[in-house]
Amino acid sequence: MIKHVLSGVALTAVLALSGLASAAEPVLGLAAIDLQNSFFVRMKEAGDTAAQDYGVKATWQSAEGSLEKQVAIIENFINQKVDAILVDPLDKNALLPVIKKAEAAKIPVITMGNKVEGGWNTSTLYPDRENMSMVARVLGQTLGGEGEVGLLVGTRGNFVSDTREKAFTETLAKEFPNIKLVGIQPTGWDSAKATDAAQTWLTTYPELKAIGCISDSMCLAASAVAQAMDRKLLYAGYDGDEEMHPLLEDGSMVMDVLTGAYRVGYWNIAVAARLAKGEAMPKDLYMPTYFVTSDATAQALAGKGLKFEHITPEAATKAAKAYTEQLGPKLPTSAMTVGQ
């Protein structure tokens, strides 16, 4: 048997070629808010899958909730000359100077889940106006156009929270004038504050019929309070968290919107990989989402004249992890966004 042995020169050449191949792999730098929260852990898991699917390397750094650290991470990525930078902005306005630095270095920047007016950056957003209007519409129809409702929101000044709040309140005011909005409570995305708000409303308003939420964790907290107080409410929310499925199946949650942590992570890395490889995209991208409700609720609403495409909680469980099929590299660029 003949053994083929590489000479030192040949081996050096092979290693050099290997290094060139590695260097040619686009590198993405991601500045996360943190990497301990379960949402971000799931994001990273699917984002790493996207990096593998798209043939890029994703480097994740945690800002640990610090704006100063987030800016420093981005500046370090610029110095490393990565091929694209992703950031989940802690403060959209405070990031404008460092986005300008990335622009000077010709490095694409993706601002995730927040509308940042940087000019250079691409914002990955959600079709919140359409979605949250439908959430309000479904809740209003289920209530028969009458009753008292509370709304739990995130933080004032946050683009996502403000957009969802505006869509919900304007739709109720326009289409269901006999529904009374008893309160809009900012929670800072904190379930404990959502719990306190729900308890106050249930004590103050004995005729409260429903609570809307701009994020599922708030509705989950409110439902726990209502159960403890032996009160039956309706809920409508946003995120598509699997923890909400029992409420959807028993009809107490009439509508949810599936974004999903896994899908968000995969989508953002997919967008960054495409930009790093030179694909042209709009500056504002809107993630494809799904309305989630039970077939029974959808049929009841159709009987009232409100029809919409939906998936069941069971189907949502599968859709939440079918990100490669929904957003993978074999799909056209147009699959990365929906109209808004």
In the predicted model, is pLDDT for residue 124 greater than 80? yes
For residues 77 and 134, membership in a common domain is answered with no
For residues 59 and 82, membership in a common domain is answered with yes
For residues 174 and 150, membership in a common domain is answered with yes
Residue 157 is predicted with a pLDDT of 76
Residue 23 is predicted with a pLDDT of 53
For residues 104 and 207, membership in a common domain is answered with no
* Predicted TM-score of the model (pTM): 0.82
Residue 8 belongs to some domain of the structure: no
Residue 40 belongs to some domain of the structure: yes
For residues 168 and 230, membership in a common domain is answered with yes
Of the pLDDT bands very low, low, confident and very high (cuts 50, 70, 90), residue 159 is confident
For residues 309 and 161, membership in a common domain is answered with yes
Of the pLDDT bands very low, low, confident and very high (cuts 50, 70, 90), residue 37 is confident
In the predicted model, is pLDDT for residue 216 greater than 50? yes
Share of residues in the chain with pLDDT > 70 (%): 93
Q: CB of 272 within 8 A of CB of 112?
A: no
CATH number of the domain to which 235 belongs: 3.40.50.2300
Residue 332 belongs to some domain of the structure: no
Residue 138 belongs to some domain of the structure: yes
In the predicted model, is pLDDT for residue 243 greater than 60? yes
Q: Which domain holds residue 139?
A: 128-258+291-318
Count the domains in the chain.
2
For residues 72 and 143, membership in a common domain is answered with no
Give the residue ranges of DSSP H helices in the chain.
8-24, 38-54, 67-80, 96-104, 128-142, 159-175, 191-204, 216-228, 245-249, 261-276, 295-303, 313-319, 323-327
For residues 242 and 143, membership in a common domain is answered with yes
For residues 241 and 189, membership in a common domain is answered with yes
Residue 194 belongs to some domain of the structure: yes
For residues 56 and 170, membership in a common domain is answered with no
Of the pLDDT bands very low, low, confident and very high (cuts 50, 70, 90), residue 35 is confident
Residue 340 is predicted with a pLDDT of 53
Residue 337 belongs to some domain of the structure: no
In the predicted model, is pLDDT for residue 219 greater than 70? yes
Residue 273 belongs to some domain of the structure: yes
For residues 163 and 296, membership in a common domain is answered with yes
SS3 187: coil
For residues 63 and 163, membership in a common domain is answered with no
Any idea what DSSP says for residue 151? E
In the predicted model, is pLDDT for residue 43 greater than 80? yes
Residue 19 is predicted with a pLDDT of 40
